[in-house]
Amino acid sequence: MSNQISKVIARQVWDSRGRPTVEAEVTLVSGATGRAIAPAGASRGAHEAVDLRDGGTAFGGFGVARALAGVEAEIAPALLGQDATEQVTIDRLLIDLDGTPNKSRLGANALVAVSMANLHAAAASAHVPLWQWLAQGRPVRIPLPEIQIFGGGAHAGRRTDVQDFMVMAPKAGSFRRALEITADIYRAAGQLMEARGPITGVADEGGWWPNFTSNEDALDVLTQAIERAGYRAGEEVFISLDIAANEFCVDGGYSMALDQRILSADEMVERMVAWAGRYPIVSIEDPAGQDEFSTLAKINAQIGHRVQIIGDDVLVTNAERVGRASDAAACNAVLIKVNQAGTVTEAKAALDAGKARGWGTIVSARSGETEDVTISHLSVGWDGGQLKVGSFTRSERMAKWNEVLRIEESLGSNAVYAGCDAFFAPVAANLTKG
């Protein structure tokens, strides 16, 4: 059988933070090969699958020699002879082989690289682009991009509490146009930042370094940047935030260092509601800690009909946690990061769990990335609706945006931009009325 796996190898390559990471290559009897690289997060949830790192002093403890050794000694022999087109079987094998609930024995970095490389090999064997292999003839949409303008939080020395200040252009009509709009806003934001003092570079995901006096100051400048670029904030272009509140959630309170305040959970709820009233915000990710379902539910109850409430650290790309959050009415959207789950199949299950509830689904990169563009294909092929990749600079980010441009172009007049429909229905309805 030509789809049988004949070879699996892994090598050490380097990510966008200059840290080692795992690249896997899967080769089939047909000669088809697939290759993929594991990304790495900085603001990780406790319930995520964990990477296997060497520790010690070499490379700051981020070495992947043990993860590579596991691929060679255990994963490769187990996969030889398996049918690469049976992704669910392959992933089940990887999960069982690891044997731990959080993938800590062989490492989520090893597993996710092999799982995604296998997916690429299967698509290559079928001689179709990966997105098309995943879609299997089902209708797909080109995702609505969520693009960072300012980076903060764990990605910028905690110069702002909020981690991502982003923009979304759901009414742009096409992905290509959404990127053009973003380019204008990114440039306008740079001009505004320059006027405020020397620009000191960019954060981990390429957004302007956050030189602000408060989180609200950043929101004001972002709103101004949208207008300065010639777009109507709150009509054409909207603000999206990743609060990543888990990073500053201490004993149920929220330590907002920049604002020099510790907010209670209820004050955090009020703050989110106030921001959603004052600024053209359409989406908020992780506005509470990773187990704070009731705080999320309060936020969702007050603004969830007009603002997307995304669970990242709280849901960790886990179908079961999506179910829990749904029961608690805590979110109306789920972020999908394949390496939080550890395998392609588990990530897809979390996405399906979100879709089954009518939620928005956002395929997402990590803050530590590479030239790997697998997630661009997942967002289209799974009809994910939204894509979050970081900012509009640095090639590990641009590679992913550019790949979606190519896919959109290849679809020609059949390309459908997800736009407003990418949101939970009440949020979409609110956007499109009037």
Burial of 55 (0-12, 13-18, 19+ CB in 10 A): exposed
Q: Is 337 a catalytic residue?
A: yes
* Locus of tokens 């997916």: 119
Cβ distance to ligand PGA smaller for residue 42 or 262: 42
What is the Cα–Cα distance from 300 to 298, expressed in whole angstroms? 5
Region of residue 136 (phi > 0: left; psi between -120 and 50: alpha; otherwise: beta): left
98 binds, among Zn ion, ligand PGA, none (CB under 5 to 8 A by kind): none
Binding residues for Zn ion restricted to 338-357, rule: CB under 5 A: none
What is the Cα–Cα distance from 332 to 300, expressed in whole angstroms? 8
Q: Is 103 a catalytic residue?
A: no
Tell me: does residue 161 bind Zn ion (CB under 5 A): no
Cβ distance to Zn ion smaller for residue 285 or 403: 285
Phi, then psi, of 219 in degrees rounded to 5:
-65, -40
Residue 39 parent element (H or E): none
247 binds, among Zn ion, ligand PGA, none (CB under 5 to 8 A by kind): none
Q: Please identify which residue in 35, 44, 321, 348 interacts with ligand PGA, judged by CB under 6 A.
A: 44
- Binding-residue total with Zn ion (CB under 5 A): 3
Residue nearest to ligand PGA (CB): 41
Q: Please identify which residue in 42, 78, 329, 411 interacts with ligand PGA, judged by CB under 6 A.
A: 42
Tell me: does residue 391 bind ligand PGA (CB under 6 A): no
Cβ distance to ligand PGA smaller for residue 171 or 366: 366
CB atoms within 10 A of CB 74: 16
Binding residues for Zn ion restricted to 241-270, rule: CB under 5 A: 242
* Nearest distance, CB of residue 248 and Zn ion, angstroms: 13
* Nearest distance, CB of residue 206 and ligand PGA, angstroms: 13
Cβ distance to ligand PGA smaller for residue 271 or 366: 366
Cβ distance to ligand PGA smaller for residue 345 or 364: 364
379 binds, among Zn ion, ligand PGA, none (CB under 5 to 8 A by kind): none
Q: Name the 3-class secondary structure at 52.
A: coil
DSSP designation for 239: E
Burial of 167 (0-12, 13-18, 19+ CB in 10 A): buried
Cβ distance to ligand PGA smaller for residue 8 or 167: 167
Residue 297 parent element (H or E): helix 293-303
Query: Could you give the angle at the alpha carbon of 104 between the alpha carbons of 103 and 110, nearest 5°?
Result: 65
* Nearest distance, CB of residue 241 and ligand PGA, angstroms: 11
* Locus of tokens 């996405």: 351
Cβ distance to Zn ion smaller for residue 312 or 403: 312
364 binds, among ligand PGA, Zn ion, none (CB under 5 to 8 A by kind): ligand PGA
Phi, then psi, of 86 in degrees rounded to 5:
-95, 75
Q: Please identify which residue in 25, 146, 161, 242 interacts with ligand PGA, judged by CB under 6 A.
A: 242
CA distances from 253 to 245, 260, 304 (A): 10, 13, 22
Q: Name the 3-class secondary structure at 177.
A: helix
- Candidate list 103, 171, 298, 337, residue with the active-site label: 337
Question: Across-strand partners of 9?
Answer: 25
Tell me: does residue 205 bind Zn ion (CB under 5 A): no
What is the Cα–Cα distance from 302 to 299, expressed in whole angstroms? 5
* Nearest distance, CB of residue 205 and ligand PGA, angstroms: 8
Cβ distance to ligand PGA smaller for residue 171 or 337: 337
- Candidate list 23, 25, 205, 247, residue with the active-site label: 205
380-389 burial, b at 16+ Cβ within 10 Å, e below that, comes to bbbbbbbbbb
What is the Cα–Cα distance from 123 to 174, expressed in whole angstroms? 26
Residues 358-377: x where in contact with ligand PGA by CB under 6 A, - otherwise, as a string: ------x-xx----------
Tell me: does residue 43 bind ligand PGA (CB under 6 A): yes
What is the Cα–Cα distance from 375 to 384, expressed in whole angstroms? 10
Contact 341, 38 (CB under 8 A): no
Tell me: does residue 312 bind ligand PGA (CB under 6 A): yes
Q: Please identify which residue in 241, 244, 333, 431 interacts with ligand PGA, judged by CB under 6 A.
A: 244
Residue 362 parent element (H or E): strand 360-364
Q: Please identify which residue in 312, 346, 372, 403 interacts with Zn ion, judged by CB under 5 A.
A: 312
Q: Under the rule (CB under 5 A), what is the footprint of Zn ion?
A: 242, 285, 312
Q: Under the rule (CB under 6 A), what is the footprint of ligand PGA?
A: 41-44, 154, 163, 242, 244, 312, 364, 366-367
**Hey, which residues are catalytic here?**
205, 337
